[in-house]
Structure 1
């Protein structure tokens, strides 16, 4: 211990001019990752909210009888119109509408399909207009590209072969009698 003052003179021990640079260099990547992840999470939340709003508004109009017999393309167009800020909405959105049996919910597949742009196009899973007083479920799935695909949350979220992540929304309604 007696030889330490000879190796490190007192003036070096009191000098703190490089201490800020070292702290900054260590904390900058962590701070940037945290900041970029918060932007990514904000965009995910905003897009999920807009998908929920679009589906709810389209189902509301469907429930009120504004569409006599809705088609898959017409409902996609309506959802995208109400959602507003979903990029490439009509090409990336996939819908499923089917009647539900009140006695058994096991007939519904656990996950809704999403469009994977890196694979071949799959046909619509099921889009059935139910009868009067029939419980219906509509599921929507859209694929969205991350804002920062390689940093923070954008690098950690589960992606498909094209590098997009999935957002899901579900709505249930009862067909009104005519």
Structure 2
């Protein structure tokens, strides 16, 4: 019996049929994870670029419209108009406008206010129009759902209780004299 086992195993050891199938079965899951992560990263980058560009265009309009007070909803709607890649933008976008003093510098607050679909009440943000020659920081936070939340890059995102990750863009400008 041991001779039979020995000959079977030696024959099995020399046989090379099916070795490509084993390599394929081992490597394909890794290739799929890399491919799905690349798609996730590409969509994330496009959404962030659209959000940044929309914010830059709106801030340019704010700087050129000297003396006009803009409301939170107006700025949000204009950013959403330019940032077409953000799904359900008007409900998932939160703005924060902060006035900073150059003489008594406190820095930009590190805590960013974002929406959370799992909460009923949305937090209030700081939104103050600046006076002449004041430094303003406008921060935008958009919540977006990952395409592949359990695979590759989508599984490594910091998500809130609703499963959304944050895209945060910020810019600074000086309020022009009137």
> Does the TM-score normalized on the shorter chain lie above 0.5?
yes
Does 2:64 match 1:64?
Answer: yes
SS at 2:170's partner residue?
Answer: strand
Cross-structure match for 1:118: 118
Q: Distance in 1 between matches of 2:112 and 2:90?
A: 17
> Which consecutive residues of structure 2, in runs of 5 or more, have no partner in the other structure?
none
Say if 1:94 and 1:114, in contact at 8 Å, map to a contact too: yes
SS at 1:136's partner residue?
Answer: strand
Query: Normalised by the size of structure 1, how large is the TM-score?
Result: 0.91
Deviations 1:130-150 (A, max 9, x none): 011111110000000001111
Change (3 A) 1:42 1:49: same
Query: Normalised by the size of structure 2, how large is the TM-score?
Result: 0.91
Alignment of 1:1-178 (within 5 A): 6-9=7-10, 12-65=12-65, 68-106=68-106, 108-178=108-178
Q: Distance in 1 between matches of 2:121 and 2:144?
A: 17
Change (3 A) 1:20 1:151: same
Q: How many residues align?
A: 175
> Which consecutive residues of structure 1, in runs of 5 or more, have no partner in the other structure?
none
Post-superposition shift, 1:13?
4.2
Change (3 A) 1:58 1:105: same
